[in-house]
Structure 1
């Protein structure tokens, strides 16, 4: 005896349409490039917060703030930044730290997002370092904003030993104490050309 359950014709038609729709969706999602859209929209693997160095969008912290992104910076870098901030304020410019110290987990998440956005680790390396090589994780780099503040620092930063390191990142500054006497060193085109990133 055959125990196959036969659906009425309209139900079979709906089932067939649903199965065909799922098959098409599977092909579309598997297509090159489309998968990245779904991965990029995925939530972060871990819940990251201020304790990891995250600075909330729209609320960059000042260099006087005690948030981990700032207070976990290298002491000499923070001192130079505070001195530069006072001078900038005298010129009517307020320096903000949009990103400073980062936990390895936060850096890993930024790298994952960059790979999703740019399509490969090689292309992402032009913008984001690994947790093992990032000067942010070591507390040795700051991203300054807004653009007017970064522009002020590009002109006056050497006097405090603060130098823009990458040509493609006008917001990224690190401490180079020799810059006070000799000026800032030549910039790398982007982080992928920085020998420190190849460790």
Structure 2
């Protein structure tokens, strides 16, 4: 009979996420992960098969704990008219609050695309789903906030806001003021022309 694990893999993934998020995949060593998780190398390999397996689990925890809860009001069956504005304001606040991981480190997924993992099919599939999910959420918010828009105009606004969100996440760790201004432009686009 095998030993019972004395740790929850989800907690290990969260602990590792912090290290990967702040240092990046390439600059995170196994000793860094051992220290952050409290596990030795063999336990990490036994549970996650590799450093990359632990990174994949950390990415899932990022989506589950950070991304999806923020998008949930935009993915609801009935989206409130102010849901997109609330999302953009909340994201902006997280970017100007210098204590948040987002303000300090940017987006974990976007950062990973610039690393050695950036051309791997598995990561690209996760990032593509993330992009699609964000665009769909923004589209729902646009439809709820600006129902008067023709389809082409709503699609253009969705593309604009989605692009501005990604731009803000890419630049925030270098210049949080520019990231905030980018989200201000997204907010202005969402409310522009409506009373």
TM-score bracket for this pair, using the shorter chain length: under 0.3
TM-score, with structure 2 as normaliser:
0.28
Larger radius of gyration: 1
Higher helix share: 2
Q: Which has the higher contact order (CA 8 A, sep 6+)?
A: 2
Higher strand share: 1
TM-score, with structure 1 as normaliser:
0.28
